[in-house]
Structure 1
Amino acid sequence: MKWHHVQENWSAFYEAILDKWDDADEAELDEIDGDQRAFVAYIAELTDQDPREAREEIREWLIGEIPADVVMDPTHDNHSIALSSKFVPEGEDEYDDDARFGDDTAG
């Protein structure tokens, strides 16, 4: 992922940040508010590293997956549903709810 994904959806990354750096503090993350330089400085201080080392650690962290709540939007969902159509049996609509997954209401 790219930094702009993190910056645009900063609070959605809190869980991933806290998973990677368990000593991180949500109040501090609130203040950083997606500012990359501030985040590098914060991680450097938190981990007692040189900023270059912290920047490299963050770069490695960015190789990971984008959290699901960041990519869950109607545009992305509809695109994913359309792509999944190759796995749906012929005659079934990929946009239909499937009661087996609890999507349907009894009616």
Structure 2
Amino acid sequence: MKWSHVQQNWAAFYDAIVEKWPEVDEADLDEIDGDQRAFVSYLAEATGQEPSEIREELREWLAGEIPSDVVMDPTHDNHSIALSAKYVGEGEDEYSDDARFGDDDEHENEGDR
């Protein structure tokens, strides 16, 4: 992942940040608001590590995948749908209604039987 993913979805990354750096406080993260330099400085102070060590940890953390709870955030829906296009048959639109394939209206039609 890239820092821009983190910055754009800052609050959604709180759980992943706290998991990696349990010393952080969410109120402080609110103030940082995705600023990478401020985040590195804050982590150095909170953990007692050198900023260079924090930058290396951050590089390693960013090499991982975007946490699923961030990917599942509704703001990413269109991107996820667009990525699904490779699984949609030729001539079909990945944005089309898929109700005929699932049970989207199953409960509504139960009274019709």
Identity %: 60
Summarize deviations over 1:56-81 as a string: whole Å, max 9, x none. Answer: 11111101111234334232122233
The two structures have a TM-score, normalised by structure 1, of: 0.77
Consecutive unaligned residues in structure 2, runs of 5 or more: none
Q: Distance in 2 between matches of 1:64 and 1:104?
A: 38
C-alpha separation between the residues in 2 aligned to 1:41 and 1:85?
A: 46
Aligned to 1:71: 71
- 2:22 aligned residue: 22
Equivalenced residues, count: 98
In the aligned structure 2, how far is the partner of 1:34 from the partner of 1:85? 36
What is aligned with 1:44?
44
Equivalent position SS for 2:40:
helix
Distance 1:20 1:105 in 2: 42
Judged with a 3 Å threshold, the aligned counterparts in structure 2 of structure 1 residues 24 and 105 are, in CA distance, closer, same or farther, namely: farther
Residue 34 of structure 1 is matched in structure 2 by: 34
Distance change in 2, residues 1:25/1:105 (3 Å): farther
Q: Is the 8 A contact 1:12 1:67 kept in 2?
A: no
Task: Out of 60-69 and 48-57, give the one that drifted further.
Answer: 60-69
Give TM-score scaled by structure 2 length: 0.73
> Which structure 1 segments of 5+ residues have no match?
87-92
What is the DSSP-based 3-state SS (H/G/I as helix, E as strand, rest coil) of the residue aligned with 2:88? helix
Bigger Cα Rg: 2
Alignment of 1:47-58 (within 5 A): 47-58=47-58
Equivalent residue, structure 2, for 1:96: 98
| Aligned residue among 87, 90, 96 for 1:84 | 87
